[in-house]
Amino acid sequence: MVIQNRRRWLASARAACARSLELDVNQDPGLLLQAGRVHRWLGGYSAASSSLRDVLRLDPENVPARRELAELHARGMRLRRALLLYRSILATDPGADLGRSFQETFSYVFRWIFATSVIVGFSSALAQVAESYPDSSAHAGRIFFGFVLVLMVAWPTLQLLSVLGPVLRLLRELRGIVLQAALVLAMAVSAGAVSWTSGAVAAGSFVAFLASFAGYRVAEKRGWSL
Considering the domain architecture, whether residues 64 and 113 belong to the same structural domain is answered as no
The answer to the question of residue 99 being in a domain is: no
Domain residues for the domain of 30 are 2-92
Quick check: is 163 in a domain? Answer: yes
In a domain, 156, yes or no: yes
226 vs 221: CA distance, rounded Å: 15
What pLDDT, on the 0 to 100 scale, is given for residue 101? Answer: 79
Same-domain check for residues 66 and 144: no
Identify the CATH number of the domain in which residue 74 sits.
1.25.40.10
Alpha carbon distance 208, 187 (integer Å): 8
Q: What is the pLDDT of residue 19?
A: 62
Is 101 part of any domain? no
Stronger pLDDT, 223 or 144, i.e. the higher one: 144
CA distances from 31 to 19, 69, 161 (A): 12, 15, 36
Write down which residue in 92, 124, 139 finishes a domain: 92
pLDDT of residue 210: 94
Question: Count of domains in the chain?
Answer: 2
Q: Do 72 and 153 lie in a common domain?
A: no
Q: Would you place residue 4 in the very low, low, confident or very high pLDDT band (cuts 50, 70, 90)?
A: low
The pLDDT of residue 25? 43
- Between residues 158 and 19, which one has the greater pLDDT? 158
Dmax (CA) of the chain:
72
pTM equals 0.75
Sign of CA dihedral 35, 39, 40, 44: negative
SS3 81: helix
pLDDT digits (tens, 9 = 90+) for 182-221: 888 999 999 999 999 888 899 999 999 999 999 988 887 7
For the segment 60-101, what is each residue's pLDDT rounded down to a tens digit? Answer: 888 889 988 998 998 888 888 888 888 888 788 777 777 777
Residue 98 included in any domain? no
Q: What is the DSSP letter of 133?
A: S
The overall average pLDDT reported for the chain is 81
Highest mean predicted confidence (pLDDT) among 1-5, 9-13, 109-113: 109-113
